[in-house]
Amino acid sequence: MSDNPNPEEVRQLIIDELSQLADLKPEEIKSEATLEDLDIDSLDLVELAQIIEERYDVRLEREDFKDVTTVGAAIEAIISRCTAVAV
């Protein structure tokens, strides 16, 4: 774990995890894709949140994701939370 997560590292981890959850290649995960398009449900998001929490020692809250509908928005929400906690 690093003290200050690199946004690109966090982004790549999220894309890798989403690609596994959606059974797609990482390069097929586009920022504008909706979570619904990828068939990512709330249980998948909980699993993703647990991975991020363990990796970066950060607590993600439900409110962090309440308006998230796209991959890009999910990535930005998680990066924002990781870097806010690390500061």
CA distances (Å), origin 62, targets 17, 41, 55, 68, 77: 19, 14, 18, 10, 11
Q: Is the pLDDT of residue 24 over 90?
A: yes
pTM above 0.85, yes or no: no
Residue 1 and residue 56 in contact, taking contact as beta carbons nearer than 8 Å = yes
Q: Which of 1, 2, 4, 14 is nearest to 83 (CA)?
A: 4
DSSP, res 66: T
37 is catalytic: no
**In this structure, how many other beta carbons lie within 10 angstroms of the beta carbon of residue 18?**
23
Q: Which carries the bigger pLDDT value, residue 3 or residue 13?
A: 13
- CATH topology for the 7-86 domain: 1.10.1200
Find the catalytic residue in 16, 37, 39, 41: 41
Q: How do residues 39-70 score in pLDDT, each as one tens digit? A: 988 888 888 889 988 988 888 887 877 888 89
